[in-house]
Amino acid sequence: MDPEVSLMLHCDPSQALEEHQMHVEVSDRFNRQRFPEIEQHIEAIWTDRVTKEPWLFNGAKFRLHSALLTLTENGPMAEHALQNTTHLRHDEGEHSESALKSPEGLAKSKQPCVVKLQLGLTCYKDYLGTNWSREAEKLQSHGRNECLDPQAFLSQPLGVGAVLATVDGDVVLLRRSQKVAEAAGLLDIPGGHPEPKMVCPGVSEEDICVELLQGKERAVVSEIFSSVCAEISDEVNVPVSSLSKPLFMGIALNHTSAGRPSAEFYVRCTLTTEEVRDFYRRGGPEANESTDILFLSRAKMLQLNERSPLWSEMCPSAKGAVLLYQRVMPE
């Protein structure tokens, strides 16, 4: 197993989930745990970064605490994945991944499933000072000892990514710019973050709080799904109208940033490969984040593994999306 990435949760083959099959619970209980020393560390890192890069700004993000995949019909909901699986670490290896596979009976039942996400709030500043900090391993050790949760003191912002397939059956990959903060020069899928500010129109980033999100759980789910298409449109420059509704495949963890979670989706495009290439070359709102577009056939996507030459060129988020695509096979 690649130490850069692991799967926190994945759907059964051919059972990727639609928007109505995702539910969220939003609570302060799912926020990052705090103590004075780490707050001082976060402030110091942020002050240093803003001094060097004055264009940086802080923004609210959803914090993923846990995820649970369950059945919905014929009696009580049956557990399908481990609760609090954000606790998975790269050193837990194959044992952890096998724990997430479907029980035999559940896999064959084909009953409708739902995924429930427990979400708190975090921000970009906290992410830089925890997950992306040189102190991340110490924070994980502290969380393990104090809270029995190695991620308790980490930001854990929820990202989103998309396996985007053209009408020809090719999957879109982007070569990240050398100027981006993470995974510069590597191959990635379109992606980003759902934004709490979209659920709280008219509220400043600094004033967004969990209380404002409670009672708006369906709007939070809608933002998670719609953010996928928005990121594709911004990065690939294709019209949102050409995109299908996203299908949720699962959640991957990026261990180069201390297990940061990303929900990965499958999206079909009504455009051909050449049409997508043409739209990309015209530029778009986030054209500066990548330098080239590549296309991989469905057959090659299914064959990708650690021994493939292309694998070493892929960033962890892309690797996680490939692993989920191979397991879920959403077509």
Residues 6+ apart with CB under 8 A from 59: 123, 124, 195, 197, 205
CA distance to 24, 228, 244, per residue, from 162 (Å): 20, 7, 11
Boundaries of every domain in the chain: 5-73+112-328
pLDDT computed for residue 77 by the predictor: 42
**pLDDT in single tens digits along all 331 residues of the chain:** 899 999 999 999 999 999 999 999 999 999 999 999 999 999 999 999 999 989 889 999 999 999 999 987 544 444 443 333 333 333 333 333 333 334 333 344 467 899 999 999 999 999 999 999 999 999 999 999 999 999 999 999 999 999 999 999 999 999 999 888 788 899 999 999 999 999 999 999 999 999 999 999 999 999 999 999 999 999 999 999 999 999 999 999 999 999 999 999 999 999 999 999 999 999 988 888 899 999 999 999 999 999 999 999 999 999 999 999 999 999 8
| Rounded alpha-carbon distances, angstroms, from residue 55 to 45, 50, 52, 198, 206 | 15, 7, 9, 21, 17
pLDDT of residue 73: 53
CATH number of 5-73+112-328: 3.90.79.10
Secondary element (H or E) of residue 10: strand 5-10
Q: For residue 68, what are the β-bridge partners?
A: 116
Using CA atoms, how far apart are residues 64 and 116, in angstroms rounded to an integer? 11
pLDDT of residue 10: 97
Measure the CA angle with vertex 133, ends 128 and 138; round to 5°: 135
Strand, coil or helix: 176: strand
Let me know how long the chain is: 331
Beta-carbon neighbour count of residue 113 at 10 Å?
22
